[in-house]
A and B are shown apart, each in its own frame.
Chain A
Amino acid sequence: MTTPFLILSGLFFAYAVYIATRCARSFGRPEDFLDGAREIPSWATIFAGTGVVVAGLGLPDHILLTSLYGLQYSHVAVGLVLVGLCGALVQKRIWLAARITGLGTIGDLMGEYFGSVALRLYLLAILFLFTIPFAAYGLGEIGQLVEAATGGSLRAGLVIWVTAFFLFLYAVIGGWRAVVYVVAGQSFLVLTLILFTGGFAGITFDGLALFTKGIATPAGILADQIPGVIQFTDGIGKQLPTGGLWTTVAILSFALSLIGIVLSPGFGFLGITSQTRKGFAFEQVWMTGGIAAGALLLIAPVIAAEIAAAAPAGLAGTPAAFAGLVARLGSMDQLLGIGLLMLLVAALQIGIAFFASSGASIVTIELVARYVLPELSPAGRKLAARIALAAIFAAIALTASFAPLSATVFSSLALSLAAQLLPAFLGLCWLPWVSRSAVLAGLVIGIIIVVFTEPFGLILFEGLFLDLPWGRWPLTIHSAGWGLVFNVAACLLVSLFTRGGEERDHRQRLHDEFEAGQRAEPGGRAIRTARWSLTLIWAFLALGPGAILGNSFFSRPIFTGGNVALGMPSLLVWQIFFWLIGVLILWWLAYRGRLSVIDALPQHRLALGSPRSPLQRLPTPGWIARWLGRVAER
């Protein structure tokens, strides 16, 4: 299996380098290297955006967790509808704001809109979390997967460095546009292969394990039921929840963490650099909410059940568990086994290439060109971006090879901390009364709570001081959920006292521009209220506490007094039912509610910088200038 896998991987990298070379030849201007001239085509945004959402969730991890926890975890896939909804809320307005103001990154937009250096630095910190530990975690997983599937003939360390080198190679040749093209191509490949693998297994395997035996979860875990609305446990590492971890509040709060993908600086950069006017709605409704969520709901449990049936007990839940299914497919035909391996590897490569490349571009625009070397020429910026790419890929490969535990610990923070930006995004896009103080107060509280409900804070605090009475995700609530509750509460409270004044007038200018250029939402207030009420009801039943009804709703309906033989678990039917309704609601909001439809290109140019903003008074903060002075003068 090793040789054909190497040949296919080589062909893929040849394709990527070819696309990158074509991009480099077609676009001579150095500025294009950084942001693709902000003309990334709609189709690339659609596929790449969907692929990045799936990569953010982690396709191999999703399948492994489904094989470990069964349908109670698989329910998280319905949360992709929530991700699409979050995209519908923010992506269009971020794109408009970038066009209206001429700013090129989320950090720039947030920094100028709120007049806050702290917010800009926080976004850079989030960017680094995605760019290095998150990508390194994925790269390490590729190494483990390939080593396990090839029976150790390709060592994980070698795979990590070779993969990092080739991903770097095409990114450094073609820049941002090439990366988006290749990521979009890979996303289409992942989509095709996941549909193919599921369909092939369904046709050729002698009875799918999901429908004959169910998902063989470890003892004590309910494979086809949600184990409760909430469980009053101390958290992972302190106390095991009965029946499994994934209660309805765990599912809802985990789904909330997934919106961190959409709110991440890299995803925002993809949106800003798109030329799209119609692509956002299609990506959010049909691709993310529709096809990606549907594929994960319908096909991931099939693959997970086969893995659980074949994996040795000690390997359950680890990347090595895939080796059994790869070998089984390989025994039918080598290329089929390799196809599954390529699916998993491609899903991980999407995240690595995307976050590393967006990280290099954003660092160059926001840090190097703004603070460190403001006089840099376009050619110099291109060189800086290339150096940043080299440094980032080296850091990713080093972390994946030598500090995999650190990569795991830090990457677990990325989504939850990015999700804490929700109030800031809502403020920028919809709510001018959300003030800088409110956003910062909420963020500080949210960060503290996230850190202390994730391994990083727990390990650090318990290592230095004393044991905390709670572990990871206490009361089966994900850290993003804990953080967001307190974050939003603090933000609302502070906004009550700081919602007016000169700063508000400054922020209002952007919202006036939003309103001026867009057609009014059809239907009026009543329709709008109905739409959002329906969304909340859907969220309650699909992801929230109401999802517990799905355990038996279809197999033991209360009106018949008897059991119904469905041929599949009631929970799976519930998931499919609410996924379909969710897509319908998402369509209603994104298209009919005009949340994602851009009616007219913005005409105005608005200098967003506030006269009171420290960013306007001092282009380079004093501490950076002093530090640079010390380094440069010696």
Chain B
Amino acid sequence: MSPLTKTQALDRHALVMAIWLALGLVAVMLFDYGSDGGGWIATLSAFGAVLAAFIGHIIVNAVYDTGFSRRELALGLVIYAGALVACGLAALLVPGFGARNFLPLSLGFGGLFAAVVFYMITHFGVRRSFEAFDVIGDFGTDGPDRNSRQERR
């Protein structure tokens, strides 16, 4: 994985934006339609569009020989968490929303999470994927243990 030149980084960024622009809009439309009464197929299709964009992003990463940038990871996590909270609040506050959408939303969010985990395991391996989230293991490891862990990585 060699560092990208300034031009390549911009090319990659613009391509990623183009993919999310198009598929994101389709996902928003389907999600809105699904939550308004379009049914679970529309909601699941919305998650399918997000998944397609995610796969497109991974393909772009493979073409440019890069991974997800820190900003992309942060943005993805914030949007995912925000969407979860928003759906939770809507289920609590909007009458009938939870009854109509709980199952497809759960499946969708769960599916996205599974896709991310699958990608991480196939891309990094089980051990490195687990260590990426192993916050507890980092507590109190300022000494030699932490250094040896870093070396292992």
- Minimal Cβ-Cβ distance residue in B for A185: B18
Scoring A188, A204, A333 by chain B CB atoms within 10 A of each residue's CB, the highest score goes to A333
Which A residues are CB-close (under 8 A) to B75? none
A472 CB, min distance to chain B CBs, angstroms: 38
A189 touches B21 (CB 8 A): yes
CA separation between A15 and B28, bound complex, in Å?
16
A19 near B: Cβ within 8 Å?
yes
Residue in A22, A335, A339 whose beta carbon sits within 8 Å of that of B10 in the complex = A22
Which B residues are CB-close (under 8 A) to A22? 10, 13-14
B47 CB, min distance to chain A CBs, angstroms: 15
B65 near A: Cβ within 8 Å?
no
**A 182-220 binary contact with B (CB < 8 Å = 1; else 0):** 001100110111001000000010000000000000000
B97 near A: Cβ within 8 Å?
no
B36 near A: Cβ within 8 Å?
yes
Residue in B7, B14, B17, B33 whose beta carbon sits within 8 Å of that of A336 in the complex = B33
A343 CB, min distance to chain B CBs, angstroms: 10
B residues contacting the other copy or chain, number (CB 8 A): 22
B11 touches A19 (CB 8 A): no
A333 touches B32 (CB 8 A): yes
Assuming the A-B contacts A184-B18, A185-B17, A332-B33, are A339 and B11 also in contact, with contact meaning beta carbons closer than 8 angstroms in the complex? no
**B 17-37 binary contact with A (CB < 8 Å = 1; else 0):** 111011101101100110010
| Binding-face segment, A36-44, A243-251, A530-538, A584-592 | A36-44
B74 near A: Cβ within 8 Å?
no
B21 touches A333 (CB 8 A): no
- Minimal Cβ-Cβ distance residue in B for A184: B18
CA separation between A47 and B26, bound complex, in Å?
18
A15 touches B17 (CB 8 A): yes
- Minimal Cβ-Cβ distance residue in B for A183: B18
Which B residues are CB-close (under 8 A) to A339? 25-26, 29
A23 near B: Cβ within 8 Å?
yes
B6 near A: Cβ within 8 Å?
yes
A192 touches B29 (CB 8 A): no
Scoring B6, B11, B19 by chain A CB atoms within 10 A of each residue's CB, the highest score goes to B11
CA separation between A192 and B25, bound complex, in Å?
9
Q: How large is the interface on A (under 10, 10 to 19, 20 to 34, 35 or more residues)?
A: 20 to 34
B64 CB, min distance to chain A CBs, angstroms: 10
A43 touches B33 (CB 8 A): no
B28 touches A335 (CB 8 A): yes
Which A residues are CB-close (under 8 A) to B21? 12, 15, 185, 188-189
Which A residues are CB-close (under 8 A) to B19? 188
Residue in B9, B15, B22, B28 whose beta carbon sits within 8 Å of that of A189 in the complex = B22
Residue in A39, A181, A193, A332 whose beta carbon sits within 8 Å of that of B14 in the complex = A181
In A9-35, the 8 Å CB interface with B consists of 12, 15, 19, 22-23, 26-27
Which B residues are CB-close (under 8 A) to A37? 7
A335 touches B18 (CB 8 A): no
Residue in B7, B15, B22, B33 whose beta carbon sits within 8 Å of that of A335 in the complex = B33
Which B residues are CB-close (under 8 A) to A342? 25
B81 CB, min distance to chain A CBs, angstroms: 21
B32 touches A335 (CB 8 A): yes
Interface residue ranges, A against B (CB under 8 Å) = 8, 12, 15, 19, 22-23, 26-27, 37, 39, 41, 43-44, 47, 181, 184-185, 188-189, 191-193, 196, 204, 332-336, 339, 342
The 9 closest A-B pairs by CB, nearest first: A185-B18, A192-B22, A333-B33, A181-B14, A189-B22, A41-B11, A335-B29, A335-B32, A188-B22
Beyond A43-B11, A332-B33, list 8 extra A-B contacts (CB 8 Å).
Answer: A8-B25, A26-B6, A27-B7, A185-B18, A188-B22, A189-B18, A192-B23, A335-B28
- 29 pairs from A and B in contact (CB 8 Å cutoff): A15-B21, A19-B14, A26-B7, A26-B9, A26-B10, A27-B7, A43-B11, A47-B18, A184-B18, A185-B18, A185-B21, A188-B18, A188-B21, A189-B25, A192-B22, A192-B23, A192-B25, A192-B26, A193-B22, A193-B26, A196-B26, A332-B33, A333-B29, A333-B33, A333-B36, A333-B38, A334-B32, A339-B29, A342-B25
